[in-house]
Chain A
Amino acid sequence: MTTEYLFAGFGGQGLLFSGKVLAYKALIEDKFVSWLPSYGPEMRGGTANCSVIISDSPVGAPIITNPDVLVAMNLPSLDKYENAVKKGGMIIVDSSLIERKVKRDDVSVFYVPATDMASKSGSPTLANMILFGKMLKETGTLNEETLNAALGKCISARHKDMFDLNLNAVKIGCAE
């Protein structure tokens, strides 16, 4: 089985990071995995997305045309990728940042006001991880043990506080 995830939004929202945590989690679960960022000349604010493919067999092209799961953190991303999502796939929308609704009715859609929730939780930069938690829950791929290990791979041991904050944000997303 192969699942293709597309995280899309602005640069600086942490989408590449949540993609990396997902990829590491899959690696720890002994899956085949690829992680591919978009890259451009701008460092902040431009569109950024990241494709993660998780599979039971070696990954072919690391490029995603039709994702199974789309996490959208701004309107341009939803506009651009909504119709690309596979029939029966999933779209997770940061409803703090995207006012409109998803037009399709052949995909499951979850609206999470992640940016507002992150601000309320005291970690305004961790909306990405709240959406990530929601995505793990709804795709049925939550595994606390491998999640912890993956976060440990992506956050330096010197930043224990960041580890806790990220894990907490994922839990907030899972509870949503």
Chain B
Amino acid sequence: MSDKVLMKGNEAIAEAAIMAGCRHYFGYPITPQTEIAAYMARRMPKIGGTFLQAESEVAAINMVYGAASAGVRVMTSSSSPGISLKSEGISYLAGADLPAVIVNAQRGGPGLGGIQPSQSDYFQATRGGGHGDYHMIVLAPASVQEMASLTIKAFDLADKWRTPCMILADGTTGQMMEPVSFDFDIAPAPEKPWALTGTQGKRAHNITNSLYLSPEELETHNFNRFKKYDEIMKTEPIAEEYKADDADIILVAFGIASRVSKNAVDEARGAGIKAGLIRPITLWPFPSDILFKHTEHARHFISVELSMGQLIEDVMLSTRCRRPVTLCNRAGGMIPVPSQILQAIQNVAANGGN
């Protein structure tokens, strides 16, 4: 038997966060991510950590802001409506250059929406979500193993770049159980000389802040932050390429949609159609170069998503309109079946890929 355990995706996130050195979790219950809070509530008191159920998502993200200011690894989690409430705080985290990890186990929207899986917070996550010029790093796990590994990566990236980092999961990846190995090498968190731990009478006071009333000063901060984003866009994009090298038709999908898409690719290949899949793992920075590279041979791209056409915009931008892009989607909590995606592939193939 292997050293793997069977675990829900949400629980894998929680356990991985603890392994990454997260000892502070602030949250508020909402389906379908509450397992994360429950796991933290069980574990944190036993390892000297803090689990606190806040009075609201708004309070939780601001507790995260406080703990991040204090220099510790800190996490919160929620689902779509709760992330809208947290967006104010995420903007402040970004504006104060504070590292923190935010999990969104997406459910259908808008409004109260539903509780079934969705990917319709793609724009919110990849464009920032809150007010102002900012991004956060967004990671999209597609398996329980990645729920764990990308959580650890999220803490590393957040600290490395001093930025909030989001795990954009969904109801399915959160609720499903798969074997997961926790055999990770954990890098120690970097020193944080900017943290608010008290001057101890030895240095000038540190300030974490996003307020700059002088427009010149604020512009400078924003320009500098976007230089950082340029570096992130150069160095951090990752994607999985599945049978894409010789593909005529390339599906682009992340998270749960990519799992279904993989089945469809296999079925299409079985039917003699050269289909492939590109699965962005970082949604921001988006792996645009990888997509563009494949415009050399692929004749058509299909965006497979659990939303009304959000990912497709990044696919169009990345392929620079060199090839047609088609949407294949479900929404509101519905998940496409492989045959729906296969049909979309076959439709494109029948049309000569045009």
Pair from one complex: yes
A contact set with B: CB distance below 8 Å: 20, 23-24, 27-28, 30, 32-37, 39-41, 59-63, 65, 149, 153
14 extra interface residue pairs, beta carbon distance < 8 Å, beyond A27-B2, A36-B177, A62-B256? A20-B6, A28-B1, A33-B6, A34-B176, A34-B178, A35-B176, A35-B178, A41-B115, A60-B262, A60-B263, A60-B266, A61-B256, A61-B337, A62-B259
Query: CB distance B339 to A65 under 8 Å?
Result: yes
**B 241-272 binary contact with A (CB < 8 Å = 1; else 0):** 00000000000000010011011001000000
A–B Cβ pairs within 8 angstroms, 16 of them: A20-B6, A20-B177, A27-B1, A33-B178, A35-B177, A36-B172, A36-B176, A60-B259, A60-B260, A60-B266, A61-B337, A62-B259, A63-B172, A63-B337, A65-B337, A153-B6
Q: Is B31 an interface residue (CB 8 A)?
A: yes
Contacts of A30 in B (CB 8 A): 1-2
Contacts of A20 in B (CB 8 A): 6, 177
Taken together as a complex, chains A and B put the C-alpha atoms of A148 and B335 apart, in Å, by: 35
Set of chain A residues within 8 Å of B337, measured between Cβ atoms? 61, 63, 65
Cα(A59)–Cα(B2), bound, Å: 17
Judged by DSSP, the binding face of B is mixed
CB distance from A46 to the nearest CB of B (A): 13
Are A40 and B175 in contact, CB atoms less than 8 angstroms apart?
Answer: no
Verify B115–A40 contact, CB threshold 8 A.
Answer: yes
Judged by a CB distance under 8 angstroms, whether B66 is at the interface is no
Inter-chain CA distance A62–B173, complex, in Å, is 9
Alpha-carbon distance between A24 and B260 when the two chains are bound, in angstroms: 23
Q: Does B141 contact A (CB under 8 A)?
A: no
Q: Measured between alpha carbons, how far is A145 from B89 in the docked complex, in Å?
A: 52
B1 touches A61 (CB 8 A): no
Name the interface residues of B60-85: CB closer than 8 Å to any CB of A: none
What residue in chain A is nearest B265 (Cβ atoms)?
A60
Which residues of the partner chain A approach B32 to less than 8 Å between Cβ atoms?
39
Partner of B178, one of A37, A59, A61: A59
Q: Roughly how many angstroms separate A153 CA and B339 CA in the complex, as a whole number?
A: 36
A27 touches B179 (CB 8 A): yes
With A62-B172, A62-B176, A65-B339 already in contact, the answer to whether A39 and B115 are too (CB < 8 A) is yes
**Known A-B contacts A23-B6, A62-B172, A149-B1; A33 and B179 likewise in contact (beta carbons under 8 Å):** yes
A40 nearest in chain B by CB position: B115
**Chain B: minimal CB distance from A111 (Å):** 30
List of B residues within 8 angstroms of A63 by Cβ = 172, 260, 335, 337
A23-B177, A39-B115 known; A61 vs B6 contact (CB < 8 Å): no
